[in-house]
Amino acid sequence: MKYAVLTLILSSASISTAQEAVMPDYELALDAVQDGEILPLADILAELNKTHPGEVVEVELEYDFGRRVYEIELITPEGLLIEVDLDAATGKILEVEEDD
């Protein structure tokens, strides 16, 4: 899988304590991975490539659907821009949308 510009944007909506509020976003994500709360992005991308191959252009880690969600935008081999939402804890695909 080719990776173009890859950004990781974390939503502050997932901050739940005052201690976490002062932590940088990347540390919150790292802690969540180390605590087993979410899967590493590399694992998510490897699994996503099996069902939705393409060039990743943006990645966001947000709190949606009552859980942490990786929102991944990619360009398919056919040239379509799609967004795939995956449960960050399980890697299960929650939604696939074609963007304009």
Quick check: 72 and 56 in contact, CB under 8 A? yes
Domains of the chain: 8-98 (3.10.450.40)
Query: Rounded to 5 degrees, what are φ and ψ at 91?
Result: 85, 0
pTM score of the predicted model: 0.74
Q: How far, in Å, CA of 95 to CA of 27, rounded?
A: 27
* pLDDT in single tens digits along all 100 residues of the chain: 444 444 454 444 444 444 445 667 788 889 999 999 999 999 999 999 999 999 999 999 998 868 999 999 999 999 999 999 999 999 999 999 997 6
